Amino acid sequence: MILLGSTGSIGVNTLIMAQKFNIKVESLSAGRNIELLNSQIAKYRPKKIAIIHEEDIHKLTPQGAKIYVGNEGICEMIAESSSSLVVNAIVGFGGLDPTLTALKYNKKLALANKESLVIGGWMIDASKIIPIDSEHFGLWYLSGSRPIKKLIITASGGAFRDISSKEIPTKKPIDALKHPNWKMGKKITIDSASMVNKLFEILEAKWLFRYDEIEAYIERSSNIHALIEFLDGSLVAHFATPDMKLPIAYALDTLQAKNTPVIDGIDILNIPPIKFEPIDIKKYPLWELKESLIKNPKLGIVLNASNEIAVEYFLNHKINFGNISSIVLKSIERFDREVNRVQNKNDISEIDKEVREFSKSLI
């Protein structure tokens, strides 16, 4: 197995499941958490290691493994690894090249990097991808041969779901990082509060299932991850304890996952009341972009780039929470027609740079 982003929550859980399923770890990549990476190297003894920053090499204890550096190094590591499975748990734009490289070398791709599909889904053969995402795993789990009317994914509502829409714009990072259901990385927690994460997942669903009738609702317990409405009028839902080990297990080895207790089951006698709520645009102003993104998915490039800049500045206390949506909406308006020129990976990179500079100018 080749695991990219080994020190994040997905990466850590992937290693747990790999050990449970006796899957050999050939290659690892990580960002700045070298201390955790070193402990993973000592435990799993990979033959190859990739890190993002060259200045971190002296901190590594590679145990004889070959070292690769930077995004190009990650892609080189994928190409030189004999393992047929790549788990891409990199966060952000940097995950696109490894995704394309894995597919180029005909690797099985277990994808947790949402951005690959958000910014480049139109040029990726999604049939070769296994999503590591509770919502899309739920849709896959439920789907069958019956004609589908609508795909539905759920949202927790994030840190501000119970806050007045008038109070939200002035909120600070300390407020936005208080997720009501679980602890995640900083960026995805902010994206949950703004509903950007759910916009990403709408685009993911579009490319993974090649379907445009997609909706999302808030479901506070996070015990229902996805639903499918079929043409015959029936509706099915995927219930599961909110634990990423389940989709990871199926991505690593479907046969073992089917026949192994992976997570704790749900006690149906003690499930909290199930209620679905619409996503309020007053509280989540970016949700108004949903239909535009489905119709013109290349706008995902603009959404991702402008949001990455806005979230970075927000976490550094340079803007308030409300400025995130303002920056993203103005960027979408500015580049609405520009994205039509995008034809390949180089075009994506060019637009990405332009959007980032424009977003910074707004700040």
189 is in an annotated binding site: no
357 is in an annotated binding site: no
Nearest-angstrom CA–CA distance, 284 and 152: 18
8 is in an annotated binding site: yes
- In this structure, are residues 295 and 313 in contact, taking their beta carbons and an 8 Å threshold? no
Bridge-based pairing state of the strands 108-111 and 85-88: parallel
pLDDT score recorded for residue 183: 73
Bridge-based pairing state of the strands 148-155 and 214-219: parallel
pLDDT score recorded for residue 285: 98
197 is in an annotated binding site: yes
pLDDT in tens, 5-59: 999 999 999 999 999 999 999 999 999 999 999 999 999 999 999 999 999 999 9
The mean per-residue pLDDT over the stretch 194-200 comes to 97
pTM: 0.93
The mean per-residue pLDDT over the stretch 67-89 comes to 97
153 is in an annotated binding site: no
pLDDT in tens, 291-314: 999 999 999 999 999 999 999 999
Which pLDDT band holds residue 179 (cuts at 50, 70, 90)? confident
- The residue with tokens 């901190």 is 59
- In this structure, are residues 2 and 27 in contact, taking their beta carbons and an 8 Å threshold? yes
Phi, then psi, of 104 in degrees rounded to 5: -60, -40
179 is in an annotated binding site: yes
pLDDT in tens, 91-102: 989 999 999 999
143 is in an annotated binding site: no
Instruction: Specify the 3-state DSSP secondary structure of 19.
Output: helix
DSSP state of 191: H
pLDDT score recorded for residue 128: 87
113 is in an annotated binding site: yes
The mean per-residue pLDDT over the stretch 148-155 comes to 97
283 is in an annotated binding site: no
pLDDT score recorded for residue 127: 87
pLDDT score recorded for residue 184: 78
- In this structure, are residues 220 and 156 in contact, taking their beta carbons and an 8 Å threshold? yes
State percent of the chain over pLDDT 70: 100
9 is in an annotated binding site: yes
CATH 3.30.70.141 fits 2-132, yes or no: no
Measured at the CA of 227, the angle between CA 112 and CA 225, to 5 degrees, comes to 45
32 is in an annotated binding site: yes
115 is in an annotated binding site: yes
Q: How many CB atoms lie within 10 A of CB 50?
A: 28
pLDDT score recorded for residue 274: 92
Residue 180 has pLDDT above 80, yes or no: no
- In this structure, are residues 120 and 349 in contact, taking their beta carbons and an 8 Å threshold? no
223 is in an annotated binding site: no
pLDDT score recorded for residue 33: 95
The mean per-residue pLDDT over the stretch 163-191 comes to 90
Nearest-angstrom CA–CA distance, 306 and 358: 8
10 is in an annotated binding site: yes
Q: Residue 30 belongs to what H/E stretch?
A: strand 27-30
pLDDT score recorded for residue 287: 98
pLDDT score recorded for residue 320: 96
Q: Residue 215 belongs to what H/E stretch?
A: strand 214-219
- The residue with tokens 């747990």 is 16
192 is in an annotated binding site: yes
54 is in an annotated binding site: no
Which pLDDT band holds residue 145 (cuts at 50, 70, 90)? confident
Average pLDDT of the chain, as a whole number: 95
pLDDT in tens, 228-274: 999 999 999 999 998 999 999 999 999 999 999 999 999 989 888 89
The residue ranges of every structural domain in the chain are: 2-132, 135-362
The mean per-residue pLDDT over the stretch 270-286 comes to 94
Nearest-angstrom CA–CA distance, 229 and 4: 35
pLDDT in tens, 203-213: 999 999 999 99
291 is in an annotated binding site: no
317 is in an annotated binding site: no
